[in-house]
C-alpha cells in the first residue's frame, strides 16, 4: 500500500484499488500545502549554488536579457555612427554614454520590470525593445525611439546575445576553473614523477611506470582539449528575417548592408557569419559543446583512475578531510569528491550531447527548438563547473603512499619477464618469449627465481649484471623524464 505525505489525514489507499486513469489527487492523495516557500527545484540553484553562482552572471535568463539590451543599444549606435540610414542624425557623446548606461545599470529591478513587460507583450525580445525605448523618452533621444530594433528579427538580437553570453562564461568562468584543474594535475604529476608504480593493463600487473607519469598523461589530455576550446570562434549574424537583408534594402537601398552587418558583429568581438537563415546556424555551439564534453570525459577518466588508486591504497585521503566518511563506520573516508564529479560530468555531457545534436538542425528557414534548448546551456556548464570544483578539492586531499606502491611492485617480479626476454632477443638467445612464458605465466616469481634464471642464460657479464640489478621498482624506463613533456 502507498501512504501519502504527512499532510494527508485521509484513509490509506490500496494500490490495487486505483482504476486505470484515476487521478492521485483525491482523498488519500492530496497535494502537499505550500509550506516550503520558494525553494529551488534543482541542485545547481540549491546546495551547489555557491559553486556555480559565477555562471549565473553570464548564462541565466537575466544575463540573456542584459545582453539583449546591450545588442539593441549597440545596434542603434552603429546605425547612427555609420550613416547606414539616410537622414539619421549622429549621436552626441553624451547620448552614447546615456545609451550604454542602460546596459551597465541593468540590475535586479530591471529584471523584474522586463518580466512585467513580457507578461503584456508575451514576447521576450519585444519586451527588451520597449525597455530600451522607455529609457530614451523624455530626453534628447526621444526622436530616435523607433530606430531601436530597426530591421531586426528577434533572432538577430538573440544569436548575438547568446554568443556573447557563452563567450564570456567560457572565457571568464569555465576556462579559468578548467585550467586551474589542469595545473593541479600537472603539479601533482611533477611531484610524483619519480614514484614507481605497478601498471595494470586489462586490470592485470603490467610493465611498471611512475604515478607522476600516469597523471601527466591525463594532464596532457586535458590540456589538449582546453587549447581547442580556447580557440573557439563565436559566430554571429544580423541580417533580417530570412538572412537576406530584405527589410534593410527596402528601407535604405543604397547602403552596403553586408558590410554594415560584418562590422557590427565584429565590433561586438564575434566572428561574422555571412550565410544564415533566420537563425545563426549554431554550428560553432555544437563544436564548442563537443570539445567541452570531450574534456569532461577525460576528467571523468581521471576521476575513475584516482578513485581506483585510492581503493588500492596508492593514495591516502588526508588533507583537509574533516567530513564524515560513513554514518556508521568511523574509520572511513570515502572518495566522494571524485564520485560527485563523475555524476555531474555525466549530467553535463548528457545535456551537452543534446545541445550539440539539436542545435545544428532547424526546419527550413526557422523553427523554435533552439530557443528552448539554449536555455539549458547554463545547466550543462554548471554541472561541468561543479565537477571541476569537486575534482580539485579531491586532488587537494590526497597524499601518495610510497609503501603501498612498493609492496605491489615487490610482489610482482614476473613483470620483469618483458625486460629479460627483450635482452635475450637482442643477444640472439633462442626462444626468449617462450622460455619467459614458461617461467612466469600463472606463477608467482620472486627476486631469487628471476635472478637465478638470468644467471643461467649465459649473457655477457655486464648485461647479466644489469639485468640482475633490475627490479620492478626500477623497471620504469624514462617515465620520470616523460613528465617534462608537459612543459
* pTM tops 0.85, yes or no: yes
Q: And the C-alpha cell for 352?
A: 551537452
DSSP 210: E
Q: Mean pLDDT over residues 43-50, rounded?
A: 93
Question: With contact defined as beta carbons under 8 Å apart, do 271 and 234 qualify?
Answer: yes
Query: In CATH, what is the architecture of 412-474?
Result: Orthogonal Bundle (1.10)
Q: What is the mean pLDDT of residues 303-321?
A: 89
CB atoms within 10 A of CB 34: 8
CA distance readout (Å), 185 to 220, 263, 396: 9, 42, 10
Average pLDDT, whole number, for the chain?
Answer: 91
SS3 243: coil
pLDDT in tens, 52-72: 999 999 999 999 999 999 999
- pLDDT for the residue 324: 47
pLDDT at 320: 52
CA gap 201, 214 in Å, rounded: 13
Please report, for the chain, the start and end positions of each structural domain, with discontinuous segments joined by +: 52-151, 155-402, 412-474
Kindly report the number of other CB atoms within 10 A of residue 480's CB atom: 19
Place of cell 611512475: 210
Q: Quick one: pLDDT band at residue 41, thresholds 50, 70, 90?
A: confident
* pLDDT, tens only, 93-128: 999 999 999 999 999 999 999 999 999 999 999 999
Whether the Cβ atoms of residue 306 and residue 315 lie closer than 8 Å to each other: yes
Upper half-sphere CA count for residue 88 (Cβ side, 13 Å): 22
Q: Which of 50, 66, 49, 70 is nearest to 58 (CA)?
A: 66
Q: Is-catalytic flag, 9?
A: no
pLDDT of residue 94: 98
Considering the domain 52-151 in this protein, what is its CATH number? 1.10.275.10
> 142, 326, 371, 422: which is the annotated catalytic residue?
326
Q: Averaged over 465-477, what is the pLDDT?
A: 95
Note the pLDDT tens digit of each residue in 166-178. 999 999 999 999 9
- CA-CA distance, 452 to 464, in Å (whole number)? 11
Contact, 427 vs 459, CB < 8 A?
yes
Please indicate whether residue 202 is annotated as part of the active site. yes
pLDDT of 328 strictly over 80: no
Complete DSSP assignment for 413-459: GGGGHHHHHHHHHHTT-SSHHHHHHHHHTTS---HHHHHHHHHTT--
In 3D, which of 483, 323, 474 has the Cα closest to residue 406?
474
The separation between CA 96 and the C-alpha centre of its own chain, rounded to angstroms, equals 37
CA dist 48 → 44, 340, 421 (Å)? 5, 11, 55
Assign domain 155-402 to a CATH class. Answer: mainly alpha
Out of 9, 25, 202, 331, pick the active-site residue.
Answer: 202
- Given this model, what pLDDT does residue 13 score? 38
Residue position matching grid coordinates 603539479? 187
Amino acid at each position: 500500500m502507498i501512504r501519502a505525505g504527512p499532510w494527508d489525514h485521509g484513509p490509506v489507499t490500496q494500490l490495487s484499488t486505483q482504476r486505470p486513469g484515476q487521478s492521485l489527487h483525491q482523498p488519500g492523495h492530496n497535494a502537499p500545502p505550500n509550506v516550503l516557500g520558494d525553494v529551488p527545484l534543482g541542485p545547481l540553484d540549491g546546495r551547489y549554488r555557491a559553486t556555480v553562482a559565477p555562471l549565473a552572471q553570464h548564462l541565466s535568463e537575466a544575463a540573456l536579457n542584459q545582453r539583449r539590451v546591450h545588442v539593441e543599444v549597440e545596434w542603434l549606435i552603429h546605425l547612427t555612427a555609420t550613416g547606414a540610414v539616410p537622414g539619421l542624425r549622429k549621436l552626441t557623446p553624451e547620448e552614447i554614454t546615456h545609451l550604454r548606461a542602460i546596459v551597465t545599470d541593468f540590475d535586479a529591478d530591471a529584471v523584474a520590470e522586463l518580466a512585467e513587460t513580457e507578461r503584456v507583450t508575451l514576447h521576450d525580445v519585444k519586451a527588451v525593445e520597449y525597455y530600451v525605448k522607455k529609457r530614451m523618452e523624455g530626453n534628447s533621444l526621444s526622436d530616435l525611439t523607433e530606430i531601436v530594433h530597426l530591421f531586426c528579427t528577434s533572432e538577430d538580437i538573440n544569436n548575438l546575445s547568446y554568443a556573447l553570453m557563452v563567450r564570456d562564461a567560457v572565457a571568464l568562468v569555465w576556462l579559468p576553473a578548467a585550467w586551474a584543474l589542469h595545473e593541479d594535475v600537472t603539479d601533482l604529476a611533477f611531484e610524483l614523477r619519480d614514484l614507481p608504480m605497478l601498471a595494470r593493463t586489462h586490470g592485470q600487473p603490467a610493465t611498471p611506470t611512475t604515478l607522476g607519469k600516469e597523471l601527466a598523461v591525463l594532464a596532457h589530455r586535458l590540456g589538449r582539449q582546453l587549447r581547442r576550446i580556447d580557440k573557439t570562434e563565436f559566430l554571429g549574424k544580423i541580417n533580417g528575417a530570412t538572412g537576406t537583408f530584405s527589410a534593410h534594402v527596402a528601407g535604405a537601398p543604397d547602403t552596403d548592408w553586408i558590410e554594415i552587418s560584418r562590422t557590427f558583429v565584429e565590433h561586438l568581438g564575434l566572428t561574422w557569419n555571412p550565410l544564415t537563415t533566420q537563425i545563426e546556424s549554431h554550428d560553432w555551439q555544437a563544436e564548442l559543446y563537443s570539445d567541452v564534453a570531450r574534456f569532461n570525459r577525460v576528467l571523468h577518466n581521471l576521476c575513475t583512475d584516482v578513485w581506483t588508486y585510492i581503493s588500492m591504497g596508492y593514495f591516502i585521503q588526508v588533507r583537509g578531510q574533516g567530513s564524515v566518511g560513513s554514518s556508521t563506520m568511523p574509520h572511513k573516508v570515502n572518495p566522494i569528491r571524485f564520485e560527485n564529479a563523475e555524476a555531474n560530468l555525466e549530467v553535463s555531457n548528457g545535456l551537452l550531447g543534446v545541445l550539440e545534436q539539436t542545435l545544428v538542425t532547424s526546419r527550413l528557414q526557422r523553427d523554435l527548438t533552439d530557443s528552448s534548448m539554449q536555455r539549458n546551456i547554463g545547466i550543462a556548464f554548471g554541472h561541468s563547473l561543479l565537477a571541476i570544483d569537486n575534482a580539485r578539492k579531491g586532488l587537494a586531499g590526497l597524499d601518495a603512499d610510497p609503501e603501498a606502491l612498493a609492496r605491489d611492485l615487490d610482489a610482482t617480479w614476473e613483470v620483469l619477464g618483458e625486460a629479460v626476454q627483450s635482452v635475450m632477443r637482442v643477444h640472439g638467445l633462442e626462444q626468449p618469449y617462450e622460455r619467459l612464458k614458461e617461467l612466469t605465466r600463472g606463477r608467482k616469481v620472486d627476486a631469487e627465481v628471476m635472478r637465478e634464471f638470468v644467471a643461467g642464460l649465459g649473457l655477457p657479464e655486464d648485461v647479466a649484471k644489469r639485468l640482475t640489478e633490475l627490479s620492478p621498482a626500477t623497471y620504469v624506463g624514462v617515465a620520470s623524464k616523460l613528465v617534462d613533456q608537459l612543459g
